[in-house]
């Protein structure tokens, strides 16, 4: 899937060649960006000068993540595309609000959203892998409640400089 920027597309292909799925790459980028914002939050007095750059990186990441939702070859449901577009719109508005206010409360929600979306991306992949494994072994499939929740990623994936 192309994200509108050849450099990022090539990095996706390179990461996938090393066994990382697109979901893992995106989750890693979300986690790294959220971690940077969290570092600023935890030492705000000393790191508040880094906030605008971190917020800009988060906005750029989300621009990349949603850049292909209107492409004809995108297999996402209309409802999922709409939800992602709405979430990105909220993130862009909240980013501007945080850049203007420089208040922790205004960027904490961005940290939470990134981490929750990253968890969802890794959970979906692990659910699919578990189902494929079971099907190949002829085992009845589990419900999503039976599949363990994944631990947080250490952020070793690479999506550009995110």
Q: Does some domain include residue 1?
A: no
pLDDT higher at 24 or 90: 90
Number of domains into which the chain is organized: 1
**DSSP 3-state of 145:** helix
Angle at 129 between CA 124 and CA 135, to 5 degrees: 125
Confidence (pLDDT) at 44: 97
Q: Which residue has the tokens 């605008």?
A: 52
Confidence (pLDDT) at 30: 96
CATH of the domain at 56: 1.20.120
- Mean model confidence pLDDT for the chain: 78
**Mean pLDDT throughout 145-160?**
39
Residue 88: pLDDT over 60: yes
Q: Does some domain include residue 146?
A: no
**Mean pLDDT throughout 99-114?**
97
Which structural domain range is residue 97 located in? 8-138
Confidence (pLDDT) at 4: 43
- Which residues neighbour 84 within 8 Å (Cβ) at sequence distance 6 or greater? 65, 66, 69, 76
Confidence (pLDDT) at 58: 97
Q: Does some domain include residue 111?
A: yes
Confidence (pLDDT) at 21: 84
């Amino acid at each position: 899937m192309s994200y509108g920027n050849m450099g990022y597309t090539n990095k996706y292909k390179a990461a996938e060649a090393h066994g990382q799925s697109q979901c893992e790459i995106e989750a890693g980028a979300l986690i790294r960006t959220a971690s940077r914002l969290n570092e600023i939050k935890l030492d705000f007095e000393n790191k508040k000068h880094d906030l605008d750059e971190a917020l800009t990186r988060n906005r750029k990441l989300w621009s990349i993540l949603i850049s292909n939702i209107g492409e004809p070859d995108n297999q996402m449901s209309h409802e999922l595309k709409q939800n992602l577009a709405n979430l990105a719109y909220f993130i862009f508005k909240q980013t501007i609000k945080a850049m203007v206010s420089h208040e922790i409360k205004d960027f904490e929600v961005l940290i939470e959203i990134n981490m929750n979306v990253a968890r969802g991306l890794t959970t979906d992949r692990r659910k699919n892998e578990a189902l494929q494994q079971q099907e190949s072994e002829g085992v009845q499939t589990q419900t999503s409640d039976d599949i363990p929740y994944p631990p947080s990623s250490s952020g070793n994936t690479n999506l550009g400089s995110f």
